[in-house]
Amino acid sequence: MGKSKAATTIQEPGAEVAPTAVAPSVVALTHCPYRQADRLQQALTPDKMQVAFFLGAGCPMAIRIPDGTTTQPLIPNIEGLTKHVCDELTKTDGHNACTKTVIKRLCDNGSLSPTIEDIFSHIRALQDIIGAGTIDGLAKQALTDLDTEICKLVTAAVRKRLPTQDTPYHRLATWIGGIRRAFPVEVFTSNYDLLMEQALEERRVPYFDGFVGSHRTFFDITSMEQDALPARWSRLWKVHGSINWWRTMSGDIERREEGDAQDRQMIYPSHLKYDQSRRMPYLAMLDRLRSFLARGQVVLITCGYSFSDQHINDVMIQGLRGNPTAVCFALMFDARATVPMAVQNALRVPNLTVLAADGAVVGTIERSWAPGEKREHPLHGVAIRQAVSGAGNVSFALGNFSSLGEFLADQLNLVDSAAGGDNGT
């Protein structure tokens, strides 16, 4: 018999091949982390590109503060926040029994580990239907009191200030204000904290967040829709509300440090039954995300967001499918296995790229990172680092908000160097 032809491997554009340990003739397709970091950098370079960031709950986790001999995150993630709030509620007899009943109802309905946002949603759904009676011993007033107490506990947990002026929030703010652009940079966040506001103000970057005024700043949807402010003003859209949003007894939405006795704090929409005035800020913020993705050639970068919120996902995915020229880079802190919803969506949507620590989904193709460090590459040590597992493996680092801040600072230096005497026209 003649010699058989060697097996042929078709390599996708932009991929590298790495030999496996199974047999010398078998190769495994991989993605090149350095090439993907270059793609992201190139997408952010043009000053005429429309750029937005989506910051999730993982971003404050990147800022560590001293805690005895170790450190802790400035603000906990949703799991940590849930534990903190539930622990505090169990210390109060009036809220303890009510909280346990709500959690039991959620668990009985299939929620194995209810988060504080699941609890919020369920409490508010029950308030809408309970009337003058009770459900499982829960009365409307007890649920209303519990809702108010949870808001207070969440506010206390997230009302933190950035500990220094060299945080990733400050670096993002510096990047936003450091390049003259034809279009404003937009920042979307599902977080209730005021960290992005602090960084923008300390870097003297003007921004618009949907509110106007001075003393009792009020929500003005007309200003959002007309959006006639200069491009040097960034836009900040808080899709889950904020600890300084209050709904007055007359139904107005105001932004201020503290509410009056009868005001309701506007954090986390339940996505269930709301009257129009309660829904308006949340829907308007999501409409801005929808509008951004429909504008043509745009770039959206997500960080600290695991794609666990289906309502936000729907807006993102529909926007990307409706506009093939839009691109989303989803930066993940951990391995792909920890963000199944992000991976599942990227496998179906070609302009959603998931860049995780151990691999990526690019153009609907999921692959691990190609092994081997390229120490000469300018982004080595910033976007790509040696993996903890060693053996020549590398890890994509930009899912860590701190690394993303370094990446943006590095890019800003490149832009400044390239500009030289350019007047920006």
The SS3 of residue 370 is coil
Beta strands in 181-240 (DSSP E): 186-189, 207-208, 211-212, 217-219, 234-238
Measure the CA–CA gap between 168 and 159, rounded to whole angstroms: 18
Q: What is the pTM of this model?
A: 0.88
Return the pLDDT at 254.
92
Assign 216 a pLDDT band (cuts: 50, 70, 90). confident
Measure the CA–CA gap between 39 and 26, rounded to whole angstroms: 29
Give which of 403, 330, 411 is closest to 378, Cα–Cα: 411
CATH superfamily membership of 30-74+162-415 = TPP-binding domain (3.40.50.1220)
Return the pLDDT at 243.
94
Residue 321 has pLDDT above 50, yes or no: yes
**Is the model more confident about 91 or about 301?**
301
Hey, CA dihedral for 276, 281, 285, 286, is it positive or negative? negative
58, 303 Cβ separation under 8 angstroms: yes
186, 234 Cβ separation under 8 angstroms: yes
Pick from 18-32, 83-97, 310-324: least confident: 18-32
DSSP per residue, 129-185: H-TTSEETTEEHHHHHHHHHHHHHHHHHHH----SSS-SHHHHHHHHHHHS--SS--
The SS3 of residue 245 is strand
Return the pLDDT at 317.
98
What residues form DSSP beta bridges with 331? 303, 355
In the structure encoding, which two tokens stand for residue 267, read together? 């954090």
Assign 274 a pLDDT band (cuts: 50, 70, 90). very low
Measure the CA–CA gap between 414 and 422, rounded to whole angstroms: 13
Residue 421 has pLDDT above 50, yes or no: no
Return the pLDDT at 279.
59
Return the pLDDT at 425.
37
Return the pLDDT at 9.
40
Pick from 59-63, 110-114, 141-145, 411-415: least confident: 411-415
Return the pLDDT at 391.
65
- Compute the C-alpha angle 63/69/70, nearest 5°: 30
Question: What are the phi and psi torsion angles at 274 (to 5°)?
Answer: -130, 150
Return the pLDDT at 251.
83
Most trustworthy range by pLDDT among 75-79, 234-238, 385-389: 234-238
269, 241 Cβ separation under 8 angstroms: yes
User: What is the average pLDDT value for the chain, to the nearest integer?
Assistant: 88
Measure the CA–CA gap between 391 and 329, rounded to whole angstroms: 27
Measure the CA–CA gap between 249 and 246, rounded to whole angstroms: 10
174, 199 Cβ separation under 8 angstroms: no
Query: pLDDT by residue (tens digit) across 79-96?
Result: 999 999 999 998 888 899
Measure the CA–CA gap between 375 and 407, rounded to whole angstroms: 16
Mean pLDDT within 166-175: 97
Return the pLDDT at 337.
97
Q: How far does the chain reach from its first CA to its final CA, in angstroms?
A: 70
Give residue limits of the domains in the chain.
30-74+162-415, 78-158
Query: pLDDT by residue (tens digit) across 359-395?
Result: 999 999 999 999 999 999 999 999 999 887 666 689 9
